[in-house]
Amino acid sequence: MNRYLLTATIVVVCAVSALYLMRPVSDPDFFWHLKTGQWIWENGQLPEQDPFSFTTPSSPDQRGLFILKSYWLGQLLYYAHYSLGGMSGIIWMRAWLVALLVFVLLKRRTGDLLLYLWLLVLFLVSMLEVYPVERPQAFSFVFFALLLYILEHIRKGSPAVNPAGALTALPLLMLVWANTHGGFIIGQITIGLYLAAEGLKFVRPSLRPLNRTIYKRLFIAGVAGLVLSLANPDTYHVMEILRLPSYAKYLNTDYMSTIKALADFRDYSVLLDWFVMLLALAGLLVNAGRVNITEVLLLGGTGYAAFTQVRYVPFFLIAAIPAISRAFEKKRLPVWLKALLIAMIAAAAVFFVRDEVSNTRNLLSGRWIDEKRYPVKAADYVLARNLRGNMYNHYDWGGYLIWRLGPGRKVFIDGRDIDEATFWKAMSINIAYTDNSGRPYWKSILESYHISYLIVPIHEAAGNRLQLVSALAKDSDWTLAFSDANSVVFLKKDPGK
């Protein structure tokens, strides 16, 4: 292999990663995770009640408790990095998470190294285009890759594998995962799939079953991993994460199918995901005579999940990239076909990454929070004027305001969605809803919560003016105290009323 071509490809992998990693912090939920990590560190315990919102019930239901307590280890990692380096520390955390993920995928490599590196470029563009690495899901992506690495090492029974180490690594991985992010449910399902599929092979010897000693080792490690994964603050109640608020499937793009994401949101990165699905299918067809039922079930399950909900796309990619490379290991691609495949990936990378070049400005300025996206100056105003009393805020800004103002000032609503009723009240307020008699229902909600001030955007994400802002400007009970390019602060003229 031409070493210069290989070196150039490694540079591309690093450059693509770096440009995406220099994006400003954009995930609105990241901020409440960061603040919760600070709260846990300072209080030495997990929250049993919501310390950041005054609308959350004093005794949250099981789903609410899951949201409050289940991410604690990841949240402490956020706060540790922030304590060491501010927001720059969070950017460094992004970097080592992606580096670890790439390292694990490289450890699973088989086949042509050059082609595999370009498949990694495809993976990085597809994942980083959509998923900010400061999201807690990033931990699950790394843990899923590690889980597949461990399972495959045990399954192959390599002489280099220390049986005791393998038996220890998998349970410990599941223990850490279960206390970091709820995505460990995917790990549980994957372990169950491996145990069931490899066990089925003993019923059908034509499926090439494992050596019984190796399967016993896999079974013990898998069961131990499943048991230890229950050692988390929510134990088996973690399944509550699957019970979503009624509006989540319609408003949160994570729960949309790839077809809907492309049609409604013009998310063209979906085309990359479909391309990988086609490559995975081609790989299975090329090796149809020696297909591994475990791999077929893994790719089929993660592929179906990814196609129907975009939140599962990275898990499919992590499973598929090594499988695609392995599928073409013996059935070598013609040189022209490999060159065409690499050229297509390179063209796609240029198409998506070209918009990320401007991210280098963030590195030079050291400013990692987009003031056009969040109410930075409005929060400064609240702190400078020492505003007190109950606050109403826009849903999208709840996480940021928790970080900037909490827990001394509690938010009305945020992306944790602990109380569904609060969401619908907030929607009524935002549209300045009036009932059939013309009574301003939005005002009665604000009055019932004794709201003293509001922090809201001037315009919705779609660009239309927030109806609440127009209503407040005309209302004699409220006065505009602060405004800038993206946010306004209104004060109640007589908070005692």
Could you list the residue range(s) of the whole structural domain that residue 168 is in?
A: 3-359
Radius of gyration, CA atoms only, the chain: 25
| Mean pLDDT of the region 454-460 | 95
In a domain, 465, yes or no: yes
Contact 27, 135 (CB under 8 A): yes
259: pLDDT confidence band, cut at 50, 70 and 90? very high
In a domain, 236, yes or no: yes
Using the 3D structure, point to which of 359, 385, 407 is the last residue of a domain: 359
Q: List pLDDT tens digits, range 120-165.
A: 999 999 999 999 999 999 999 999 999 999 999 999 876 556 667 7
Q: List pLDDT tens digits, range 309-340.
A: 999 999 999 999 999 998 887 666 788 888 99
Contact 185, 147 (CB under 8 A): no
Whether residue 419 sits in one domain with residue 329? no
Q: Which two tokens stand for residue 358?
A: 């401007």
In a domain, 497, yes or no: no
How much of the chain exceeds pLDDT 70, in percent? 95
Whether residue 345 sits in one domain with residue 458? no
In a domain, 407, yes or no: yes
List, in sequence order, every residue forming a beta bridge with 480; answer none if it has no partner: 490
List, in sequence order, every residue forming a beta bridge with 432; answer none if it has no partner: none
Whether residue 411 sits in one domain with residue 344? no
Contacts of 60 (CB under 8 A, 6+ apart): 49, 50, 67, 68, 418
What is d(CA 93, CA 430) in angstroms, rounded to the nearest whole number?
A: 36
pLDDT value of residue 41: 98
> Which of 154-163, 365-374, 375-384 is the least confident region?
154-163
131: left (phi over 0), alpha (psi -120 to 50) or beta: beta
Q: pLDDT at residue 244 above 90?
A: no
In a domain, 197, yes or no: yes
Q: pLDDT at residue 447 above 90?
A: yes
In a domain, 84, yes or no: yes
Q: Can the peptide bond before residue 334 be classed as cis, meaning omega within 30 degrees of 0?
A: no
Q: List pLDDT tens digits, range 19-76.
A: 999 999 989 999 999 999 999 999 999 999 999 999 999 998 888 999 999 999 999 9
Using the 3D structure, point to which of 359, 389, 408 is the last residue of a domain: 359
Whether residue 394 sits in one domain with residue 451? yes
- How many structural domains are present in the chain? 2
Using the 3D structure, point to which of 312, 332, 359 is the last residue of a domain: 359
The backbone torsions φ and ψ at residue 432, rounded to the nearest 5 degrees and listed phi first, read 50, 55
In a domain, 370, yes or no: no
Whether residue 272 sits in one domain with residue 206? yes
Whether residue 414 sits in one domain with residue 353? no
Whether residue 219 sits in one domain with residue 83? yes
List, in sequence order, every residue forming a beta bridge with 478; answer none if it has no partner: 492
Contacts of 26 (CB under 8 A, 6+ apart): 132, 370, 373
List, in sequence order, every residue forming a beta bridge with 454; answer none if it has no partner: 392, 490
Whether residue 120 sits in one domain with residue 212? yes
The backbone torsions φ and ψ at residue 45, rounded to the nearest 5 degrees and listed phi first, read -160, 165
271: pLDDT confidence band, cut at 50, 70 and 90? very high
